[in-house]
Amino acid sequence: MSTGLDQTDIRILQILQKDAALSNEAIAAKVNKSIATIHARVKRLKENGYIKRIVAILDNRKIDRSQIAFSQVYLKSHTKESLKEFKDEVAKFDEVMECFQMTGTFDFILRIATRNMDHYNLFYNEKLATLSSISTIQTSFVMSEIKSDTAYSL
């Protein structure tokens, strides 16, 4: 890996990806370094952008967001203005968990989390389908989750 990270940095990142709630003391014990060293390294990893943020990953079923959909979005136009308009508006929707601009057939793919089909329908009709920059939306619903991971192999 040509990232400028040494083995200790990589190990710290691996540990934090699995459990970001660990204390510096616990991490220090796992990598055989001092707590002060771990504190300084984690701070540097954050400052240098390797760690974007530290979050808790919630169980979507327990918070009543079990209806997961992936929507492929096609835009009417690809002008700078229409792209900006779409990105700005879709970023405001709480139901949209992720939005990626894509190459290939469609322009964007959205991961959408709602309570149920009625809530998705409301989101679709009152938010997503009202965006004037959209030409077509094709949505697929998740039947079961086979793998969901947030940790990168380093």
3-state class of 83 per DSSP? Answer: helix
Flag whether pLDDT at 2 surpasses 60: no
Given this model, what pLDDT does residue 4 score? Answer: 83
With beta carbons less than 8 A apart as the criterion, state whether 143 and 10 touch.
no
With beta carbons less than 8 A apart as the criterion, state whether 49 and 16 touch.
no
* Average pLDDT over the chain, rounded to an integer: 95
pLDDT tens track for 49-62: 999 999 999 999 99
How far is residue 45's CA from residue 43's CA, in Å, rounded to a whole number?
A: 6
Given this model, what pLDDT does residue 116 score? Answer: 97
How far is residue 8's CA from residue 113's CA, in Å, rounded to a whole number?
A: 37
Flag whether pLDDT at 3 surpasses 90: no
Q: Is the dihedral of CA 80, 81, 87, 91 positive or negative?
A: positive
pLDDT tens track for 13-45: 999 999 999 999 999 999 999 999 999 999 999
Given this model, what pLDDT does residue 126 score? Answer: 97
Decide the pairing of beta strands 108-114 and 67-75.
Answer: antiparallel
Given this model, what pLDDT does residue 1 score? Answer: 52
**Strands laid side by side in the 134-141 sheet:** 96-101, 108-114, 67-75, 134-141
Structural domains in the chain plus CATH codes: 7-47 (1.10.10.10), 67-141 (3.30.70.920)
Model pTM score: 0.87
Q: What is the largest CA-CA distance in the chain?
A: 56
How much of the chain exceeds pLDDT 90, in percent?
Answer: 94
